[in-house]
Amino acid sequence: MKFLTISLIVHAPDPTTGVQASANERFRQVVDAAVLAEELGFDGFGVGERHERPFISSSPTVVLSHIAAKTSRIKLFTAVTTLSLLDPVRAYEDYATLDHLSGGRLELIIGKGNGSAQRELFHVTPEDQWERNAEAYELFRQIWRQDKVTATPKFRPALTDAEVWPRPFQQPIRVWHGSATSKESVDLAARYGDPLFSANVTNPIEPYAELVRYYRERWAFHGHDPAKAAVGAGSAGFYAAATSQEALRAYAPVFAGHLAMHKRLGIEPVFPTLEDFVTRSSALIGSPQQILEKVKRYHEQFGHTVMHIQAEPSGLSAAEHRASLERFQAEIAPVLRREIPDPPWDWDARPDAEAAAALPHADPTADARAAFVADAAPAISVTGPSADASAAPATDATAAAAGTIAASAADPAAGQPSSPWPPHLVPSRQGA
């Protein structure tokens, strides 16, 4: 089993202290949470995408790019990418760039998103949101896999032999489909043979288990190997302590703060007491043994092989939260890793740069290549790729021209750059 921590980047008063951090501080906290997750041995870190209060997660690619620079191993997830609100061409450009910056550590969880305010912001209606989500995913998927795309979508301008750059580092990227209460996302995931990630947060287990069963039925209907189906699941809260009594004492003010917020918003809580929340929700609050038993009960219903827990204290002290995560990795995760299988693929496999460069991609014309170099460095005259450049497959215009530029940029006698390009922009002889 694999374990993620996630943040939706809520920007609201702390449920226990009532203190609200600045937006700047909240972003720093999220980055620190990702670094901590890698330090403690978690397998992934996810950032949500919301375009309405109280969230400030409207630019997950920017946040994840910064996290990519601060980490080296951990997988980076979106939780979720709201494709129903986005232009799939721009979404592809952002995520393909992030794919490169992270060295192929990116995985997407996509969904239509929740909230009427963000729908209104992007002029999406309840009637067309599912159609938009499916169309955006199908076009996003096509762009990721093909160097040139021709399509006539309903919700954005048509594409004719369109090239969208950069080409991705991973081919293909793994895309999960976030599922909360409806069958549309489940159908889309099963149709394309993609994994499913159940929200598993707001309600008791029954509606989520029903959707997971439906996913497996539709997976088989579409002719996929049942052994290849993969499910992830969220959790509504997390705090692990030495004993259940200690865990309940520490979490009681956190739950009281969330309950008060629900009342202020006029929302009837699904779980009105802490005892009900711990018993009937997916929250993992208690001793290590209690948490293990609960995860196993959920696994009996879901068959899930990936699980997420909260990345941030959310009302606990920083020390309590860290101690809880450390306890999870020391006493809970090792048991679950032994007893519950991993997803049916090599989690740690990533393409290396050399393999990614060797992927076949469309080669732009010589005129386009020459125009690019002439525009970037007018003093360099280029009539075509050098022998070095043509010997290695090109992944984009800069790689195709790399041999010519490098030959012009270096003086063999002096060993110093003679090009008008700044030294740090001169491509190497090895190409991209």
Q: What does the pLDDT look like over 82-124, one tens digit per residue? A: 999 999 999 999 999 999 999 999 999 999 987 899 999 999 9
Q: How many angstroms separate the CA atoms of 366 and 43, rounded?
A: 44
What are the backbone dihedrals phi and psi of residue 49, each rounded to the nearest 5 degrees, phi first?
A: -135, 115
Whether 44 and 75 have beta carbons less than 8 Å apart is answered as yes
Return the pLDDT at 405: 31
Band the pLDDT of 181: cuts 50, 70, 90: confident
Band the pLDDT of 209: cuts 50, 70, 90: very high
Return the pLDDT at 429: 35
Q: Is the pLDDT of residue 355 over 80?
A: no
Return the pLDDT at 400: 37
Half-sphere exposure of 20 (CA within 13 A, CB side): 9
Return the pLDDT at 359: 52
Mean pLDDT of 11-36: 97
Return the pLDDT at 10: 96
Single out the residue of 173, 215, 218 nearest to residue 197, CA to CA.
Answer: 215
Q: Is the pLDDT of residue 42 over 70?
A: yes
Which amino acid, residue 402? A
Mean pLDDT of 61-79: 98
Q: Give me Rg for the CA atoms of the chain.
A: 24
Tell me which long-range contacts 24-33 makes (C-beta under 8 A, separation of at least 24).
26/56, 27/56, 27/63, 29/312, 30/63, 30/67, 30/311, 30/312, 31/63, 31/66, 31/67, 31/70, 33/5, 33/7, 33/311, 33/312
Following DSSP, what letter does each residue of 223-242 receive, concatenated? T--GGG--EEE--S-EEE-S
Q: Is the pLDDT of residue 32 over 60?
A: yes
Return the pLDDT at 306: 98
Q: How many CB atoms lie within 10 A of CB 281?
A: 21
Task: Provide the H-helix boundaries in 203-315.
Answer: 205-221, 244-264, 274-280, 288-302
Q: Is the pLDDT of residue 428 over 90?
A: no
Q: How many CB atoms lie within 10 A of CB 65?
A: 18
Q: How many angstroms separate the CA atoms of 394 and 155, rounded?
A: 33
Q: What is the pLDDT of residues 381-399, one digit of tens each?
A: 333 333 333 333 334 433 3
Can you read off the two tokens belonging to residue 152?
């006539």
Return the pLDDT at 382: 37
Average pLDDT over the chain, rounded to an integer: 86
3-class DSSP assignment, residue 96: helix
Return the pLDDT at 378: 43
- Please list the residues that pair with 109 across neighbouring strands: 176
Mean pLDDT of 286-309: 98
Supply the angle between the helices 23-40 and 60-70 in degrees, to the nearest 10: 50
Half-sphere exposure of 387 (CA within 13 A, CB side): 0
Stretch (H or E) spanning 3: strand 2-7
Band the pLDDT of 358: cuts 50, 70, 90: low
Q: Is the pLDDT of residue 360 over 70?
A: no
Q: Is the pLDDT of residue 369 over 50?
A: no
